[in-house]
Every structure is written in C-alpha cells, then in structure tokens.
C-alpha cells in the first residue's frame, strides 16, 4: 500500500513540475511577445513624429 502511495506521489510531483515549467515557458513567451509589440509600437510612433 505504501509503495502505491509513493508512486502516486511521484507521479503527481512530476506532473506538477511539468505544469509549472510549461507555464513558466508560456509566461516568458507572452512576456517576449508583449515586449516586441511594445517596441515596434514605440518605433512606429517615433518614426511618424
């Protein structure tokens, strides 16, 4: 019984770490995209001025 619980706990841990890592990558991607969008917006406004 204890072995089954240990395996389940390990599985949950792996899935949780995976999810956190994926979310972190996702967040970084969103951040980079936002930065690029803001930069291009800033440059277009500058060139028009």
Query: Residue 39 in 3-state DSSP?
Result: helix
pLDDT in tens, 6-49: 999 999 999 999 999 999 999 999 999 999 999 988 777 777 65
For residue 24 the two structure tokens come to 């972190």
Cα separation, 29 vs 19, whole angstroms = 15
Q: Which residue has the tokens 């770490």?
A: 17
Q: Is the pTM of this model over 0.85?
A: no
pLDDT of residue 28: 93
């Amino acid at each position: 019984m204890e072995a089954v619980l240990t395996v389940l706990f390990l599985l949950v841990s792996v899935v949780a770490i995976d999810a956190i890592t994926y979310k972190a990558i996702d967040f970084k991607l969103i951040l980079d995209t936002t930065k690029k969008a803001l930069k291009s917006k800033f440059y277009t406004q500058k060139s028009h001025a």
